[in-house]
């Protein structure tokens, strides 16, 4: 049986799903374990699963996820069982394991719709202080609903995909007219996103009590943002070109069941929330999050240390709010958390906050200093939970910025 390094994100407690290919195989469904990938199309050829395994030959996870939790959960627990048994199909067939370094990872989902929330209290407070009124940083609606906008699904790319700096209209200070130029304030946003695993019919809302059934899993999410373009365009309809040029996700979808061990209690929400946003139990997650920045040919510097538990609104509330109107969610939709910032400066989840609107520079270990992201910089996000020696991680979402086209 393969060896799994003790500090691996992809321990036996994880079993995340993704889409990979190799020089000899077309894109298909795999599971990450240690430094390897289990080829589920090949595993299925051993008659290991009791259902139509065509879904493992697809180039997205949508059809597999669409089989429903009764099946997807069983696939995960069956694989865990076989990994513990050297006489099992996995124990006796070493060629089912492919080294991750020999594989190419692909966008794991066909993402029909993508919604971006704004659910971190510290992030919303920081941005409100910078752009509006330091005394009244939060808008009046913020503590009454998880505010969001509908983002652009077509420009979501997988980790490892380079992105060109966007250009657009910018209104510079003291000028009467805007000018079209490459963004000078390119930024990342540290987020996580949940992958919807079940559809609700149009007109039917999802309650917080049932919302968990609609979450298949989670990925790391980098919501690339051009702050100068965003600032000029965002009133009154919200983000558009400042956001739609690209977002990046990690390739492995970690199931919500694998994150169970990391549940924690969140904020006491005050003022009390509307009835449809009330929930019971612990629905926040203790997931360590880090962002590093590396100029070309330089070692990376960790610039953010944060945690997913800093959210004010949780995913159950986001789903209940998204559908209270009767809006339908579909399998493969992504609901991103919004920038995750904690209370300390080190935990701020964007350069906008770290450099406080570009007024102070971050000194890097190598490669100078930064207020925003420069050409050929590589930004990498990493996330993992760790509890009682059990580690469940997401790997990385890594992106290099290329000059404007
Ligand atoms: Ca965002």
| Ligand 1 centroid from CA 76, angstroms | 31
Beta strands in 151-273 (DSSP E): 156-158, 163-164, 167-170, 179-182, 186-187, 190-196, 215-222, 225-226, 247-249, 254-255, 263-264
Q: How many CA atoms lie within 13 A of 94 on its CB side?
A: 3
Q: For position 286, what pLDDT does the model report? A: 98
Q: For position 204, what pLDDT does the model report? A: 98
d(CA 232, CA 238): 10
Q: Are 5 and 35 in contact (CB under 8 A)?
A: yes
Q: Which residues surround ligand 1, an ion (CB under 5 A)?
A: 116, 189, 223
404: left (phi over 0), alpha (psi -120 to 50) or beta: beta
User: ω before 163 within 30° of 0 (cis)?
Assistant: no
| Ligand 1 centroid from CA 118, angstroms | 7
Catalytic residues: 123
| Ligand 1 centroid from CA 124, angstroms | 11
| Ligand 1 centroid from CA 279, angstroms | 24
**Residue holding tokens 């510097």?**
301
Q: For position 51, what pLDDT does the model report? A: 82
d(CA 405, CA 188): 19
Buried/exposed code over 341-361 (b: 16+ C-beta within 10 A; e: otherwise): bbeeeebbbbbbbbbebbeee
Record the tokens describing residue 277, joined without a space: 């946003």
| Ligand 1 centroid from CA 187, angstroms | 10
Q: For position 95, what pLDDT does the model report? A: 87
pLDDT digits (tens, 9 = 90+) for 162-190: 999 999 999 999 999 999 999 999 999 99
Q: How far is CA 387 from CA 92, 124, 286, 396, in A?
A: 31, 29, 9, 20
Is 73 strand, coil or helix?
Answer: helix
| Ligand 1 centroid from CA 19, angstroms | 25
Q: For position 403, what pLDDT does the model report? A: 98
Q: For position 91, what pLDDT does the model report? A: 83
| Ligand 1 centroid from CA 355, angstroms | 17
**Residue holding tokens 């697809």?**
58
d(CA 197, CA 99): 28
- Whether the pTM exceeds 0.95: the reply is yes
Nearest to 306 by CA among 120, 84, 67: 120
Residue 115 host element (H or E): strand 114-117
Residue 316 host element (H or E): helix 315-323
Rounded CA Rg of the chain: 21
Record the tokens describing residue 183, joined without a space: 């963004």
Low-confidence ranges of the chain (pLDDT < 70): none
Q: For position 2, what pLDDT does the model report? A: 85
pLDDT digits (tens, 9 = 90+) for 217-256: 999 999 999 999 999 999 999 999 999 999 999 999 999 9
| Ligand 1 centroid from CA 131, angstroms | 16
Q: Are 180 and 194 in contact (CB under 8 A)?
A: no
Q: For position 97, what pLDDT does the model report? A: 96
| Ligand 1 centroid from CA 338, angstroms | 4
Q: How far is CA 334 from CA 68, 73, 265, 401, in A?
A: 17, 20, 24, 23
């Amino acid at each position: 049986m393969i060896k799994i390094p003790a500090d691996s994100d992809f321990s036996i407690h994880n079993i995340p799903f993704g889409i990979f290919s190799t020089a000899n195989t077309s894109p298909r469904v795999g599971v990450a374990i240690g430094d390897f990938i289990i080829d589920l199309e090949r595993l299925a050829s051993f008659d290991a699963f009791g259902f139509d395994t065509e879904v493992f030959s697809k180039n997205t996870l949508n059809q597999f996820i669409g089989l429903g939790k009764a099946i997807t959960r069983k696939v995960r627990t069956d694989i865990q069982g076989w990994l513990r048994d050297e006489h099992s199909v996995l124990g006796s067939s070493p060629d089912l394991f492919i080294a991750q370094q020999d594989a190419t990872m692909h966008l794991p989902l066909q993402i029909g719709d993508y919604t971006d929330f704004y659910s971190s209290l510290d992030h919303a407070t920081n941005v409100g202080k910078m752009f509006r009124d330091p005394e009244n940083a939060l808008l009046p609606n913020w503590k009454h609903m998880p505010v969001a906008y509908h983002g652009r699904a077509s420009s979501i790319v997988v980790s490892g995909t380079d992105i060109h700096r966007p250009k657009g209209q910018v209104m510079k200070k003291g000028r009467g007219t805007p000018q079209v130029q490459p963004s000078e304030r390119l930024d990342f946003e540290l987020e996580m996103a949940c992958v919807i695993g079940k559809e609700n019919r149009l007109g039917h809302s999802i309650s917080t009590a049932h919302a968990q059934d609609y979450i298949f899993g989670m990925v790391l999410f980098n919501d690339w943002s051009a702050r100068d373009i965003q600032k000029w365009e965002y009133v009154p309809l919200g983000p558009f070109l400042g956001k739609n040029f690209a977002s990046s996700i990690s390739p492995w979808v970690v199931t919500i069941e694998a994150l169970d061990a990391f549940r924690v209690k969140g904020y006491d929400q005050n003022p009390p929330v509307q009835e449809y946003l009330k929930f019971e139990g612990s629905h926040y997650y203790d997931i360590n999050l880090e962002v590093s920045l590396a100029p070309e040919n330089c070692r990376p510097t960790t610039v953010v240390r944060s945690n997913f538990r800093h959210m004010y609104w949780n995913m159950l509330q986001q789903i209940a709010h998204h559908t209270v109107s009767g809006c339908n969610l579909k399998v493969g939709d992504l609901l991103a958390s919004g920038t995750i910032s904690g209370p300390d400066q080190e935990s701020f989840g964007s350069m906008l906050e770290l450099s406080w609107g570009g007024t102070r520079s971050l000194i890097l270990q190598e490669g100078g200093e930064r207020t925003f992201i420069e050409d050929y910089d590589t930004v990498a996000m990493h996330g993992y939970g760790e509890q009682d020696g059990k580690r469940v991680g997401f790997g990385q979402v890594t992106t290099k910025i290329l000059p404007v086209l």
